[in-house]
Amino acid sequence: MHFKAAALAALLAVSSPDASSAFGIASTRMTSSFVQSSRSLPTFTTAHSRRAGDIAVSARSSRRSSVALSMLIDSNGGIEELEELCRKEDSANPLAKSVGKSPSLFRLGGNAAIPAAAALGFALTPPGIAVSAVGAGISGVAGIIGKSRIDAAAEAAAKPAIARAIIEAGGVDSDSVASEIALVKDDFGVDDEDFASMCSDVYQRYLIGMVKNPIAKTGDLKELSQLRSALGMDNLAAGEAHASAAREFYRQTCLFTPEEDLDDPDHPDRMSIDKFLFLSERAFRQAGETDEAFKFEMSRVAKAFGITMDEALDRVADVAEPFYRRALASTRSKLETGQVSSDMLRRARKSLGIDDVTATDLHVSTFNDEIKELLGKDTEEELDPASLKFPEGAMDRLNKLKDVLGLTDEEADYEIQNEATELFQAKALSTMEEAFAGLVDASAAWEAMSTRQSELCLKDSQMKTLLSSMVMQSLGKPLEETMTFAKVNNEAATYDKLVDCLNAKETCKAVLGLSGWSEFDDFDAKFFDPWAPDSACGLLSPDKRLTLYRMFLRRSVIKSESKKELTDELYEKVMEVKGMLGITDEQVEEEMKAQFGPELMKALQVATNEIIGDDYTPELVTNLKEKVDKVISDYRLSDSLVLEYGANLYLKAVGVVSQNTPSGIPSKEKMEALDGLRSLLRLSKEDTYPAHLEVFGEVYKRSVLEAMGPTGVIRPEFREPLVDLRARLGVTEDAARQLFLDAVKERMVPMVEDLVLELERTMLNQQQLAQKRQKDFGEDVFKSGRSGAGKLGIGAEGYLMTDMMNLVDFYSENDVAEQKEVGTKTITKTVKEGDETREVEEEVPDFETVYPITGLESGALEEEMAELLFRQFAVGAFTVQGPQGARYEGSKETFGKIIGLTDEKMEEVASSIGGQVYENLIRNSMMTKGQLDQQDMMMLANVQNKLGIAAEKGEEMLTDCQKKILSEEADDLLNNEGATPEMLKAFREKCNSMGMELEADVGISKSRLVRMFEVEVTPGLMKGEITIESGEVLGEIQESLGLSPEEAEKIFENLIEKQAKFTLGQVKGEFLRGRDDEVAPLIKRLATFSAFANGEIELDVDESTAYKIVNLYDAFDFSEEDAEAVEANKEALKTAMGLPVE
């Protein structure tokens, strides 16, 4: 029987120290012939100082006692966790523990086998020991220990060995720990992947051990970094380790800690989790992870703890900030030693992961703490703010600290000002109170403030801000106190307090004036604009400020001797209060009106009643004006208020005068009284026009209507009196013109409505008219039922023309139309200079006629009826001859404008009439003559002139009529099955002679043009009149029809093919009936068609028939025809028949 060497090693490993001594191998050095001679087994010694069963297995064992002592002195959570790992692994797997003590021996033993009997009998049996005892020991080994089990034990022992390497090295900061860990891999023969996994497990356990102590230390970051380096872990392995450790630690924590405790930032377990997050964030960042990789790894850790990444980063910041605060505190304490710098702080921020925003806030807070300490504000004792100040050299120290912290001048100045404000204000306010009380003058007050500025190291810019604040408080507080009296309507106290505020304001103004700073030059604008940031009165709402002003104004009048006036002195104070309270001019005006307006109104009312009474004299106006002026002067009232009251009073006065006049037209004396009242009320003539128009406007309009009389036209003798009446009534020319137009409209609307009614009677029967008008018109005596009559096919109802001309006369003779300047135009005129004359150009105004009142604008008719009326007028002007016709023609445009038509609409109506006339004339001429002659063209020109149709429009209408007539003729011709080629030819030549294109102008479709071509060409083809030499004839037809050469060629090819197939069918029919002697003309025609197409015709014919046709063609008599042409036709025929050509 053979035993492997590993069995021997196992036996030794599990034996007791006594047993080892008994075997006499405690100090025996053993070599094996089964391993390389260059590597010997380690020496086994008995370690009496150790616990029973421990055996020293390497040179590293000599350091164990010192390491254990060190651990007792400085406890480390990570080391403790690794020790716990070792204990659990040893107790769970004794064989692994044994392998861990001598991994090299076990590896060597696994590679060799020795006879058990020899090993036990000769090598292991000590003197005096029975062989049976040895046999019993061998039996305990249970036979052979296999290699695979030894390898598994070696792998299980490797991880505790890594942990022991770190423990024995005294921690991760040892220089040798990395090499010791590397030896473990070699000693235990673990492959790279398994070893990396073991290192990751050790890292996780160490990390969990670190965070079990909830107190984070700066050394933790370095310790974790050194551990990772010693274990040789890359970024990916570290990320996996942190994620796995997070899940395991959270699982352990959740077993004993409820969720509400984990939500408490001060709970130890919550602090441990936050520490874990902090160490993870630093580990990822310091490893140089990309942003994407960092987010991925950090989000995995956050997810393991059931929080979002943003929340995790916030908790990391909460852990990091205390470290940095301690660094900043150290910076302050070592500031004067020169041992601190901004670079040191930058490195600390980078190490802790403090972002720039957080760092800035902490720097500002640190700077603020230093300011408080220098000022003595860092004590809980009650101190007098006016006594605190910076010590000597304080600014130098603050400037050093500012540079180290990297603060800007603005940030440092703000913090200094922020802390010094309270101290400055305490002194400034007390000083101003003394100045208000008259205890110190302005110069002494300014000196005290200037001294305080130096004590608090305030810059001028900061001083200006503080002084502005001081003024706001010094004056704002008294104003608020004044409001307490105003709330209870204590006007006397309110008045006195406002006077005190005015005095305080002057004192502040004097003190700040000594500063020499331009910012305080316009004192009122800076401190008493209610919307300015430094406003002293801005603390009061607009309503409260207005209340204070109202009380002061009212009390000021009572303070006067007469108690009914504002003296110059009182008015000056009122204006000062106005400025101090930020009251606007508009508000002052409203308050003056509310307080003293009734007095003014009373005086004006009395004056108005006296003046428009029955006893008016010019002296009365003078005396009353003096009384009114005194009221205005006493109460400092504005002219605008007088005008406001005066306008209403004057309107009422004019109404009274009109009511007291039977005809409504005032007498000359009453108009003089009104003019005197106007002067007293300080109104201009323009101010009185609205009142006169409102009262006397209807009077003037009624007079215009009366002047029109029954004809509606104002006679010349009435026009001058109307002008005089306008002047007496005080109505402006523009207003009188509008009243005149109103009167015109009132007379004109019925005239237009009558025209519409008459026109409807000519167009509608009795029932239709009654239905439209909703009125019974009796017997139908108006509508004849006949269509329009006349030489040109149009007619007009003559009696309408008279009424329409009456409307034109009414409009024209009353000069209703107006000339409006629309710009300028250039005219040429002849000037004489001496004996010579020459033409010069001159710019003159350009006017257009405007019709202010129209039928459409007045609503007297609708646009459709307006067009019909104008049509009737135009037809009448066209059909009537002689002087009356000329009169109608001259009034046509005027009538159109009166009823409200535009130039475009009138031209459209005239064109429609002209179009009808043109069509009738052209149709008659073309039906009788075939075309228009010179006489017809002259008549069309006459129609064009009479209807006012432009030349271009006339040409367009002529063309349209011709197109319409030709299109109708084309429809009749092409829809007629009996249309002959001659008829088609005559029609197209007719169109060509008139310059009309058949498709574009006449509107003949392409398919119809094709048909016309085929109808005209087919007879010639069938008769042989059109041959290959007939290209000129075909070209003429093609051009005449408006076809392109390509289109005509395609049509002709299709026609040839169709006729050829038709002819071939006839030939076959003759052959079928045995009439071969009658096919000669048909075969010749077929040959001709084939020649046209060069034989390229797809004919459906069998070979025998084809040869028969060609043979017959050869037999025909062609003696009188050109031989070459006959031969060419034959070859084309053979090609068409599909026969070979020689």
Band of residue 58 on the pLDDT scale cut at 50, 70, 90: very low
Estimate to the nearest angstrom the gap between the alpha carbon of 266 and the chain centroid.
48
Rounded to whole angstroms, the Cα distance separating 216 from 405 reads: 25
Estimate to the nearest angstrom the gap between the alpha carbon of 825 and the chain centroid.
49
Rounded to whole angstroms, the Cα distance separating 948 from 951 reads: 9
Is the pLDDT at 400 greater than 70? The verdict is yes
Is the pLDDT at 29 greater than 60? The verdict is no
Encode pLDDT of 275-317 as tens digits: 999 999 989 988 888 999 999 999 999 999 999 999 999 998 8
Give per-residue burial for 223-256: e unless 16+ CB within 10 Å, then b: bbbbbbebbebebebbbbbbbbbbbebbeebeee
291-304 vs 309-333: helix crossing angle, rounded to 10: 100
Rounded to whole angstroms, the Cα distance separating 547 from 743 reads: 54
Band of residue 1134 on the pLDDT scale cut at 50, 70, 90: confident
Single-letter code of the amino acid located at 332: R
Is the pLDDT at 19 greater than 50? The verdict is no
Three-state secondary structure along 88-150?
Answer: HHHHHCHHHHHHHHCHHHHHHHCCCEEEHHHHHHHHCCCCCCCHHHHHHHHHHHCCCCCHHHH
Nearest to 371 by CA among 353, 396, 347, 398: 398
Rounded to whole angstroms, the Cα distance separating 524 from 541 reads: 18
**508 and 475 Cβ atoms separated by less than 8 Å:** yes
Q: Name the most confidently modeled range: 743-757, 939-953, 1072-1086.
A: 743-757
pLDDT at 88: 84
Rounded to whole angstroms, the Cα distance separating 533 from 229 reads: 61
Residue in the block written with tokens 């002697």: 1077
Encode pLDDT of 734-786 as tens digits: 999 999 999 999 999 999 999 998 888 877 665 655 665 556 555 443 344 43
Nearest to 1060 by CA among 999, 1018, 1117, 1006: 1018
Band of residue 890 on the pLDDT scale cut at 50, 70, 90: confident
Question: Strand pairing partners for 840?
Answer: 829
**978 and 933 Cβ atoms separated by less than 8 Å:** no
The stretch 628-638 carries a mean pLDDT of 90
Structure tokens at 318: 């909460």
Rounded to whole angstroms, the Cα distance separating 182 from 239 reads: 22
Q: How many CA atoms lie within 13 A of 693 on its CB side?
A: 16
Burial level of 837, CB count in 10 A (0-12/13-18/19+)? exposed
Estimate to the nearest angstrom the gap between the alpha carbon of 50 and the chain centroid.
82
Encode pLDDT of 536-579 as tens digits: 888 889 999 999 999 999 999 998 888 888 988 999 999 999 99
Burial level of 312, CB count in 10 A (0-12/13-18/19+)? buried
Rounded to whole angstroms, the Cα distance separating 84 from 754 reads: 121
Encode pLDDT of 819-873 as tens digits: 888 888 888 888 887 778 888 888 888 888 999 999 999 999 999 999 989 888 8
Q: Where are the alpha helices (DSSP H) in 775-830?
A: 798-813
Question: Strand pairing partners for 850?
Answer: 818
Q: Where are the alpha helices (DSSP H) in 353-459?
A: 356-375, 394-405, 409-436, 442-455
Band of residue 112 on the pLDDT scale cut at 50, 70, 90: very low
Is the pLDDT at 954 greater than 90? The verdict is no
If residue 639 lies in a helix (H) or strand (E), which one and from where to where? helix 639-659
Question: Strand pairing partners for 896?
Answer: none
pLDDT-wise least confident of 147-151, 216-220, 734-738, 868-872: 147-151
Nearest to 247 by CA among 305, 318, 170, 331: 305
pLDDT at 103: 62
Rounded to whole angstroms, the Cα distance separating 1039 from 1031 reads: 12
pLDDT at 1057: 83
Other C-beta atoms lying within 10 Å of the C-beta of residue 405: 22
597 vs 27, residue with greater confidence: 597
Rounded to whole angstroms, the Cα distance separating 169 from 79 reads: 11
> Strands 818-833, 836-850: parallel, antiparallel or unpaired by DSSP?
antiparallel
Estimate to the nearest angstrom the gap between the alpha carbon of 751 and the chain centroid.
58
Question: Which contacts of 1041-1050 are long-range, i.e. CB under 8 A and separated by 24 or more positions?
Answer: 1041/988, 1041/998, 1041/1009, 1041/1012, 1041/1013, 1042/997, 1042/998, 1042/999, 1042/1000, 1042/1009, 1043/1009, 1043/1013, 1048/1013
Residues 6+ apart with CB under 8 A from 640: 589
User: What distance separates the 2 farthest-apart alpha carbons in the chain?
Assistant: 175
If residue 348 lies in a helix (H) or strand (E), which one and from where to where? helix 342-352
* Mean pLDDT (the chain, rounded): 80
pTM for this one?
0.48
Rounded to whole angstroms, the Cα distance separating 653 from 647 reads: 10
**746 and 705 Cβ atoms separated by less than 8 Å:** yes
Question: What three-state secondary structure class fits 835?
Answer: coil
Rounded to whole angstroms, the Cα distance separating 383 from 375 reads: 11
Nearest to 299 by CA among 371, 239, 250: 239
**268 and 214 Cβ atoms separated by less than 8 Å:** yes
The stretch 162-175 carries a mean pLDDT of 85
Nearest to 423 by CA among 369, 374, 385: 385
Residue 1096 DSSP code: -
Question: What three-state secondary structure class fits 829?
Answer: strand
Residue 843 DSSP code: E
Share of the chain above pLDDT 70, in %: 82
Residues 6+ apart with CB under 8 A from 209: 76, 77, 78, 79, 80, 81, 82, 84
Rounded to whole angstroms, the Cα distance separating 750 from 766 reads: 22
